[in-house]
Amino acid sequence: QPGDTIEIRASEDGNQVRVEVADTGPGIPPEELDQVWTELFRGKGARGVPGSGLGLAL
């Protein structure tokens, strides 16, 4: 949405890279969190929003 922001941070954590993402969007209900990496999954709150559902699965 216009005016929303996305913040991305990367840091070294030992021999790994930690990537953190924060935004001001509507959020994901706790009961749908286990599905965020599922290809083509569209949460109840996203069904009226255009998109393919590929999002985090990419």
Task: Answer yes or no: is pLDDT of 51 > 60.
Answer: yes
Domain ranges of the chain: 6-57
Whole-angstrom distance, CA of residue 9 vs CA of residue 35: 23
What does the pLDDT read at residue 56?
Answer: 60
DSSP string, 13-47: ETTEEEEEEEE-S----GGGGGGTTSTT---GGGT
Q: What is the pLDDT of residues 17-50, one digit of tens each?
A: 999 989 887 778 899 888 878 877 777 766 666 6
Statement: the pTM of the whole predicted model exceeds 0.85: no
- Amino acid in the structure at residue 44: K
